[in-house]
Structure 1
Amino acid sequence: DRREIQSQLHKALDQWLEHHPQPESAQKALLTC
């Protein structure tokens, strides 16, 4: 299911951001996608 894959990607992205903090500009760019 495409939605399930997207949810897994979002979870992985959130976990990655927790361990690898990015600049605010990068976070804003990711949120707008």
Structure 2
Amino acid sequence: VEVEDREVEVKEVFENYTNLEKECEAAKQPVSVELQ
């Protein structure tokens, strides 16, 4: 049971990290467009 809980935690952290990356990419795009 403990191992399964740990796997769920890792998945949630990975998903949060992926979402953060997507938000950063989305935030960078308008800035790069303004620079051009």
Q: Report the TM-score, using the length of structure 1 for normalisation.
A: 0.58
Gaps of 5+ in 2: 1-7, 29-36
How many pairs were matched up?
Answer: 21
Sequence identity (%): 10
CA RMSD, aligned part only?
A: 0.7
Amino acid at match of 2:25: E
User: Which has the greater radius of gyration?
Assistant: 2
Counting helix residues as a fraction of each chain, which structure ranks higher?
Answer: 2
Q: Structure 1 runs of 4+ off > 4 angstroms?
A: none
Q: Report the TM-score, using the length of structure 2 for normalisation.
A: 0.54
Amino acid at match of 1:2: E
